[in-house]
Amino acid sequence: MNTEISGIILMFVLTVVLAIPLGRYIGKLYNGDKTKLDFIFNPLDNLFFKLSGIKADKEMNWKQHLVALLTINLVWFLFSMLILMNMGWLPLNPDGNPSMTADTAFNTGISFISNTNLQHYSGESGVSYLGQLVLMLFQFISAGAGMAVCAVVFNAMKERTTEKLGNFYNYFVRSCTRVLLPLSIIVALILVFNGTPMTFKGKDQFISVQGDTVNVSRGPAAAMIAIKQLGTNGGGFFGVNSAHPLENPNYFTNILEDVSIILIPIAMVFALGFILKRKKLAWVIFGVMTVGFLLLLSPTVFNEMKGSSNIAAMHIAQPLGSMEGKEVRFGPAASAYWAITTTVTSNGSVNAMHDSLTPLGGMSAMLGMMVNSFYGGVGVGFLNFYIFIIIAVFISGLMVGRTPEFLGKKIEAKEMKIATIIALWHPFVILSFTALSSYLFAHDPKTYAAWLNNPGYHGFGEMLYEYTSSSANNGSGFEGLGDGVPFWNITCGIVMLLSRFLPIIGPVAIAGILAKKKFVPESAGTLKTDTTTFGIMVFAVIAIIAALSFFPALALGPISEYFSK
């Protein structure tokens, strides 16, 4: 078999094999069951709670959970602005990098608290080491916050009637210390021993074999890269992210980093099965997600390995495939696999430049973010999927003339209204902002000439990709876009902020309202949700919402690009 194809099969199989036990472990954590690691983590967590004056056993209802989440995020946002705008004169800045301007700091701060990690700066020159460490902190706590709200929804889905849904801080701290921390330590140490730097020394200088003087950026990179991959963050230490040879030194680390991208998102699905004691439901959800994932992955791998038809027209060889924007040590198959894993999960790290993917490869990456729930971000990916489940339950209930019930709770008008608004929010915000920027560019191409790095359909694709990535809280980009200007900083900042918190508030509200309702035991009239038929129904809902709302925009971008050649 082709060694590139066997490489990506290995990555996927390895991820699933690791995700099943990890999911069981995460399930135990959120249930409050005992685990083998309690002897280390109980004292650690208690120290966190004691120092913060938090009573971790005080139960909250869904509204209190959201207030706790939003309050702590406000604190994080203010803290990020403070550091990013002052890091120039603060310590840990051996390269003398400047502080950020207000609009870049606004964008970057929101980007990291919202788990997006869209970067309108380059790590080598745009932040100090202190800035990097602060951003790394947000990579832990924004991921932990996403997992915590997911735990709230899991808890609310249990078969009982209650308003008490656990303690937000408890879920949050547990997610950070017991899941993200140990995994990050393992990944970071493996990276360090493969050559990724972890030093506080500044740039080094040498004279190359040919006699050029070269400066080399370094820094405390390994610690950040680990959590960047695991927490579906994606904000790299260096400008080109995991395409950088220090950030991702070889094929082995590429496997490690790529497995880390989808490990926790998949594990969360299995955690759900464990918590609800409904393994079959978990497998149905995993199945739907995996079918969607493979449908995006296969054409991308095929197109990238086949190579660019425009390059082929120049009559040179493409033995590997399309190599523009890719690294030889990964090759097109592993680059395509990364492009899809990173976009279906809201991670957003890259090991190849997405702007230079073949037209259809770039489209699959965009579609992954447009759906945003084929695995999805840590925690929040399941919340997006939950919305689609609610809609599918309602529609299929109406189709067969049964009361729409999900896990013993009746779904009524109020929940449906919330679910519909949240499902439509994502396409609405992406398309309206893309329309706005396209309008500006089309009416004054001279003023905005610096925006686009490519003409025509592909240029439109750069703008569409940027807002899709912002709204999906992904953070990757068609990086040719000249996005380091106030217009993009501010509009993307607003999109990231709203598209982080509305899709959290909606599902938590629905789950909270449902949890309070009377539990109706399963009967012959109940619509079964852990069947293949229902899985197909959910998939259809996702396909219709994504296809119908985004198809026109994709037709103007990558599809036209593909056919025009």
Window 62-121: residues binding another protein (CB under 8 A): 67-68, 70-72, 74-76, 79
Q: Taking CB under 8 A as the rule, does residue 451 contact another protein?
A: no
DSSP string across 146-203:
HHHHHHHHHHHTSSS--S----HHHHHHHIIIIIIHHHHHHHHHHHHHTT--B-----
| Minimum CB–partner distance for residue 11 and another protein (Å) | 9
Identity of the residue, 226 or 383, whose beta carbon is nearer to another protein in the bound complex: 226
Spatial distance between the Cα atoms of 333 and 501, rounded to a whole number of angstroms: 35
CB of 375 vs another protein, minimal distance in Å:
22
For the bound state, the minimum distance from the C-beta of residue 220 to another protein, rounded and expressed in Å, comes to 6
User: Residue 89, class by beta-carbon neighbours within 10 Å (0-12 exposed, 13-18 middle, 19+ buried)?
Assistant: exposed
C-beta closer to another protein: residue 10 or 399: 10
Say if residue 28 is exposed, middle or buried (CB neighbours under 10 Å; 0-12, 13-18, 19+): middle
CB of 430 to another protein, least distance (A): 20
Residues 6 or more apart whose Cβ sits within 8 Å of residue 414: 513
What is the distance between the terminal CA atoms of the chain, rounded to a whole angstrom?
31
Residues of span 255-314 touching another protein by CB under 8 A: 255, 307-308, 310-311, 314
The CA distance from 477 to 461, in Å, is 10
Residues between 320 and 339 that touch another protein (CB under 8 A): 320, 322-331, 334-335
Asked whether position 353 contacts another protein by CB under 8 A, the answer is yes
Task: Confirm or reject binding of residue 352 to another protein (CB under 8 A).
Answer: yes
Considering only 19, 243, 393, 504, the residue that binds another protein (CB under 8 A) is: 243
Cβ contact 366:554 at 8 Å? yes
Q: Closest CB to another protein among 182 and 525?
A: 182
DSSP state of 99: P
Closer to another protein by CB, 411 or 481: give it. Answer: 481
Residues within window 43-62 making contact with another protein, judged by CB under 8 A: 48, 51-54
Cβ proximity to another protein: between 244 and 500 the closer is 244
Q: Give me the half-sphere count of Cα atoms (radius 13 Å) on the Cβ side of residue 197.
A: 18
CA distance 219 to 198: 6
Residues between 126 and 155 that touch another protein (CB under 8 A)? 133-134, 136-137, 140-141
How many residues sit in the footprint of another protein (CB under 8 A)? 119
Instruction: Write out the binding residues for another protein, residues 453-482 only, by CB under 8 A.
Output: 453-458, 461, 478-480
Choose between 166 and 307: whose C-beta lies nearer to another protein: 307
Identity of the residue, 306 or 517, whose beta carbon is nearer to another protein in the bound complex: 306
Task: Name, in order, each residue with C-beta under 8 angstroms of 134's C-beta and a sequence gap of 6 or more.
Answer: 79, 80, 83, 84, 87
Contact set for another protein, span 172-231 (CB under 8 A): 173, 176, 181, 184-185, 188-189, 192-193, 195-201, 203-204, 206-210, 212, 214-218, 220, 222-223
